[in-house]
Structure 1
Amino acid sequence: MELLTEDVVPERARDVKQEAREFAAEHIEPVAADYYESGEYPWEVLEAGMDAGLVAQDIGEEYGGRGLDLEEILAMAEEFYRADAGIALTLQLASFGAEMLEEYGADWQKEEYLRPVAENEQLTGLAVSEPETGSDLAGMETTAEKDGDEWVINGEKYWIGNGVEADWVTLYARTDDDENDRYGNFSLFIVPTDTDGYDAEHIPEKMGFRASKQAHIHLNDVRIPEDHVIGTEGTGFYMLADFFNHGRVVVGGHGLGLAAAAIEEAYDFTHGRQAFGRDVSEFQKVQHILADMRTEFEAARSLNWRAAEKVANNDNSGFWAAQAKVKSTETATMCAERGMQLHGGRSVLTENRISRVYRDVRIPVIYEGANEIQRNLIYGQW
């Protein structure tokens, strides 16, 4: 069964899609169950991805990357997430947030911080969410205050990919408190993780995405030079909002890969299994469930790829990105739930791939802006 067909994928993105598929088959699928059970960081797979030129390659050629565009990254995401969501997220978080440094940063910042990531010598991460605040970008409480020629950062960040492993993070902090300009109070900073006062620890025992590590970061009088601000002070919210439009299209790809995995498992399990003297696939109810799963998957994929084109062309990006994330991640949830039902009692065995998919699908509906927030964006930008 071939679900992630290339017919909806732009021709220029098909080569990297094939690279990702072959890599997933060789390096992700064989070890996915083991990493899910252990919850360890998949360093070996990450290093193999670097060697294959599939990690941090959204960074431009000028700084050592391949300059892969949004649709190429989406094509990779589908293939990686079909194989395993946790490992896939690790691969795609290696440069998460670095696009903003490439677009808005100073030349010296790009040479010192961006190039090592593109050349796979360093890892980075994006520190936005906080223990009490997730989707409300204008409600973050971590502060950065000017003290002479330095910024002093205090606060906490939560759910931060590579917060422990990264060499530096792009950090979002409050730099003003103007009640009349709620969205102009925030800035983005380059924060090396070896800076005094930066302390990170892994968040333990997630129910899904176990091969991807997120961190709880404590920032206690972290001092960085004043030139470590990215772009212009007070524009962090707007830079981040634009970045997440691209990110949400890719998160839609996370959902598509997971949905494809759920459909594959359900189809294979119901064909060849006997019940009441018949092949399970012969029951009309089973056929209808599979038909619904496939129909919703195809609808989600068509929308997601249309959204990718719209966002790439900056055509009402927020509207299309939000739709893609909602439809694709919720389709993945539906497919996993129905796949579990078709598996019957065997669905709850952790050795079965469907049980891993079922737990993983609960996470993309939340990250990069919970789907309830996405519905606000869809209506507000209609």
Structure 2
Amino acid sequence: AGTRDAIAISTELNDIGVSLSTSVERDGSRLGMTVLTKHLDKAMEIFGDIVTKPHFSAEDWGRVTDLWYTQLERRADNPAAVASVVRNAALYGPDTPYGHPSSGLLDTAKAITLDDAKRHYADVYRPDQAVIVVVGDVNRERLDELLESHLGGWIKPSTPPPPRGSAPEPLTSRPEVIVVDRPDAPQSVVALCAPGIKASDPSAPLLDLVNAALGGSFTSRLNQNLREDHGWTYGARSSFVETRGVGTFVASAAVFTKVTAAALREMVREIDDIAKDGLTATELDKVRAQDLTDMIQTNETVGGLSSRLLDLALLDLPPDFDAAASKKRQAARAEQLASLAQAHLDTKRMTIVVVGPKDQVVPQLRALDRGQPVLWTPEGQPVR
């Protein structure tokens, strides 16, 4: 970028203790840095070059894509990552923005050229599409000077930005039970998944409380059952995944292969119970307290606060969304949560995904009486 190659950028940032990070996600991408305030000017100079004057050299492209292909190849050895790829492909369809993994697929990744990357960057990474978040000991006047000095040359193109596609709707028809074969694996990753809600849905903050009781903490129902009572796993969790469009509900665990079906039965039972009866008074008190603790922990560091503000920007939510959401959670009534749990946690609508040895897990899954298990690849495609 600018007058620096990749090595020079890395060296100069390291010399002043800057941590640079990038990510690509379902609803957008990020470029960020953490820096001591006294080095902010120098760091912003380099940051500005990265954003406005990228090199896209053939040498860097070859190095980066080799690393990328290796990461995609290794993903097949990570059963939790495979389960994530498969469940999203099953819920949304493999060729949609939410069904296709943001990290890519090996076959299609190798078809992307350097010219494709240059063209995409020019079309998409532009100032009229960017949100800048700064958290730290810097006032607005000083910040404006830095932004003008180091990003002022980032000019909006004369052409309009590419239209932002609408978020995909979940498929109405999908397999009931999907298996990805991992021969001889001593553990299976099991997941129950279904369409969730948009992050902007008024009920989203309250469903966070429901999930906290079900699978959002160490003392939640799923973890207490599968880990503490049965000793089948090191941890069982659930979540409503935040997205601009309709997200997903996921409950998952890595369990001993021999108890794959038994673990799924217990997960279904716990979800059905909370959908039927809601939270106990004790649980409601606990998840309210947990909500306040989580708010404090998210906002107690500059990194945590800036990351959350970027989350909200990518979700098209205002910066004060969390404060309003927490007030709503603190005022939640048990009957509200019971109604939402019943509406959004129907296990009969959930797809089961299992990553494990098919010879051992398929006979177990047939006994669940949820239809014939179908085999998929680690890349989220049915086995032909």
* Normalised-by-shorter TM-score class: under 0.3
Tell me which of the two structures has the higher relative contact order, counting C-alpha pairs closer than 8 angstroms and 6 or more residues apart: 2
| Bigger-Rg structure (1/2) | 2
Q: What is the TM-score normalised by the length of structure 1?
A: 0.26
